[in-house]
Structure 1
């Protein structure tokens, strides 16, 4: 009762998975990934050992095909399993057991594997593959667009309930201490993909650094406007003190500038308050 897509971006050196299901908290069961190693989605009557065991095998040097073969051959319940894998070099593999409920199947292509079960039909998987292959941009956005396209093509025949997005890359986690670059989950929602996209936009706002084109100098007129708004929101002191306190209160440390400038997304957020 799940469809997912696992993918790799050579430019970003990132691995990720996006998944949706008529199942509570699908992000707690399906996605597994490790930077520099690979990504695995295990679903249908999911064998969650496929995640850590598969990543361990990839880390030992085995390819996606080899890992898939070893995992399924050792599993007596393989007829009811479904899994997608992308390894450290971007090679992919997908498996659908003969016991998975219709429609069930998958497509493995360059740097991705898309799969699903209990779908309306095969168009969900085809559209996920097509959109991932033809879309440019960050891996997370390609995965989200592919997931949304899969839903638009039919999706889970039972409906929607939860969705998740996991992207890993070396040092990509908060503060650079781990590889969990993006780890977002919608556990129970009427429109989980749409909600996941909304949360992803918040993630880019709060946890991703400013791009050069997003930085705007603060001239006297803008400082006056900002100070008026800060006072309205209850911030006191000099402009520098009030503005810094505001940024830290709103968790905008990643978009704080060291010179007399402001991130335009922070500016838009402040103006909207």
Structure 2
């Protein structure tokens, strides 16, 4: 009932998943950071699905943190479970990857895993329209080498959806990515997005990722608030009721209301903030 990709590029680890199941993000994905001698590092990521067992993902990453590889982690957590043939599990670590599909998982069910210079991945799914779903996910992951890690995960998920995805349809999707020092509070959580109930959940997840980048990405393409641009921004902000003081103060006030604080720069206006201001006043 679910298809997912679990991956790491060495600096980040995460999971993208979609399913005809309510709030799949509350069950399937998990990713963890660790620390050695005060230095934070990627431990790995995991996805538990089919007849999902929540503890699988926690226990698997405990094994990774203990120095074992992904295949060992899967062997250990499945060996102790009488219902393992009804379950799927994908695991990636800093130097290993593996996927498991129990023999009793509903057709089509299976997975593939691998590694290259751009990272490690494990892709798996069950009740799919066919093997092409995981094949296209793998191709999308490999073909997107060089793109931002979180974008690669979503690209793979969308490729699986386009290939047919869950044979029963769409309902939910999720994206979880961790990376040392990432996130607006430097907690290490780069992205944590969930679409719990939507008839086009994978594409809604992609839309939310765009918003996540807009709200939490750093300044890009900053242009000075001078000359014609300074006049334009001043006039547009005044249209929205932000006037008085200098243009930088008015921009800061508006950006605070719209949650664009992460993109503010003392050197001028961020290109995406400018686009949003223009859209709001056209």
- Band of TM-score, shorter chain: over 0.9
Aligned to 2:9: 9
Work out whether residues 34 and 179 of structure 1, in 8 Å CA contact, stay in contact via their aligned partners in 2.
Answer: no
Secondary structure at the counterpart of residue 90 of structure 2: strand
Q: Which residue of 2 aligns with 1:262?
A: 269
In structure 2, C-alpha distance between the alignment counterparts of 1:47 and 1:88, rounded to whole Å:
23
Which consecutive unaligned segments of at least 5 residues does structure 1 have?
A: none
Superposition pairs for residues 42-191 of structure 1, below 5 Å? 42-89=48-95, 91-110=96-115, 111-136=120-145, 137-176=147-186, 178-191=187-200
Structure 1 residue 241: deviation in Å? 2.1
Shift of 1:134: 1.6
The CA distance in 1 between the partners of 2:14 and 2:172, in whole Å, is: 17
1:201 correspondence with 2:207: no
Q: Which runs of 5+ in 2 are unaligned?
A: 34-41
Q: Under a length normalisation based on structure 1, what TM-score does the superposition of the two structures give?
A: 0.95
Distance 1:31 1:117 in 2: 16
Cα distance, 1:236 vs structure 2:
2.6
Which of 239, 243, 246 aligns to 2:251? It is 243
**Which whole-Å CA distance do the structure 2 matches of 1:88 and 1:81 have between them?**
24
| Moved >4 Å (runs of 4+) | none
Q: Is the 8 A contact 2:98 2:113 kept in 1?
A: yes
Q: Given the alignment, which residue of 10, 17, 20 partners 2:18?
A: 20
Kindly state the Cα deviation for residue 251 of structure 1 after the two structures are TM-superposed: 1.2
Which SS does the other structure have where 1:106 is aligned? strand
Alpha-carbon deviations, 1:140-188, whole Å to 9, x = none? 1111111111111111110000000111011213211x22110000000
Would the aligned equivalents of 1:132 and 1:143 in 2 still touch at CA under 8 Å? Answer: yes
2:228 maps to 1:230: no
Give the match for residue 47 of structure 2. 41
User: What is the root-mean-square deviation in Å for CA atoms of aligned residues?
Assistant: 1.0
Tell me how far 1:223 sits from its aligned partner.
1.4
Tell me, in whole angstroms, the C-alpha distance in 2 between the residues paired with 1:240 and 1:122: 54
| C-alpha separation in 2, matches of 1:134 and 1:264 | 28
Alpha-carbon distance in 1 for matches of 2:273, 2:59: 42
Residue 250 (structure 1) shift: 1.2
Q: Which moved more, 1:197-206 or 1:229-238?
A: 229-238
Q: How many residues in Structure 1 have an aligned counterpart in Structure 2? A: 266
CA displacement at 1:237 relative to structure 2: 1.5
What is the distance in 2 between the residues matched to 1:255 and 1:220?
A: 21
1:220 correspondence with 2:227: yes
Q: Could you tell me how far apart the structure 2 residues matched to 1:143 and 1:226 are?
A: 36
- 1:175 aligned counterpart, secondary structure: coil
How far off its partner does 1:106 sit? 0.4
Q: TM-score, normalised by structure 2?
A: 0.92
